[in-house]
Amino acid sequence: MSINYRTTAEILGWSLGLLRGEPIDDMEGGLDSIAGCKSYVHGQPPELSGHQTADAEAKSIATAVKGWIDDGIAPSEIGIAVRAKWLTPKIEGALRAAGVGSVDLAKASEDDDAVRVGTMHRVKGLEFRCMCVASVSANLVPAANAVTPVEDDKQTHQQDLERERCLLFVACTRAREELLVTWHGEPSPFLTALEKN
């Protein structure tokens, strides 16, 4: 068994629930057998936030990010991940309107005192004190173009769904202290599976 020093037990447990498609409540023993690791760091549970429109979601993200910065988190310690690059401009615009600088994760340097914004693929291997995984909406996660239609090939369809689920898991576990998961319209089926159980 290994110890996870990167993220809190609350974030790790919730994110593992995404992989399983059901919540994990046993923070003391459940993570040992499911993940092969345990986190001794505790903190806030992930915050989930749904919105009617993409504009409302972006404004809400900007408000949350501003709150983190006001609480003493450096902008460079905040990450925002989305499934597809075309989703970033609206969020970057809302951050700008709130007086918060942002930088494309692909172009960021250590000197950039700005919030990092990029795709879920781009955040692999990184970590942030505070992380927002945004636009986890039904029509965006899983990404339709990344999933083989079930009628074409059932096995490949299931494998594609698992890959998308794992991508969301990886994005969520980039958070060390706080995780905010947002969507607009209907939430992703990966999120609604957790709510039903």
Could you report the per-residue pLDDT of 101-127, keeping only the tens digit for each? 999 998 988 888 999 999 999 998 899
Rounded mean pLDDT, 152-176: 91
**Residue 6 pLDDT level (bands cut at 50, 70, 90):** low
Angstrom distance (rounded) from CA 106 to CA 84: 13
Residue 15: what pLDDT? 85
Angstrom distance (rounded) from CA 97 to CA 54: 15
Which tokens go with 55? 């504009």
Angstrom distance (rounded) from CA 188 to CA 197: 15
Give the three-class secondary structure for 148.
coil
**Residue 196 pLDDT level (bands cut at 50, 70, 90):** low
Rounded mean pLDDT, 27-55: 67
Domains of the chain: 44-196 (3.40.50.300)
The answer to whether the peptide bond before residue 46 is cis (omega within 30 degrees of 0) is no
**Residue 138 pLDDT level (bands cut at 50, 70, 90):** very high
pTM of the predicted model as reported, rounded to 2 decimal places = 0.86
**Residue 61 pLDDT level (bands cut at 50, 70, 90):** very high
Rounded mean pLDDT, 140-155: 91
pLDDT at position 4 over 90: no
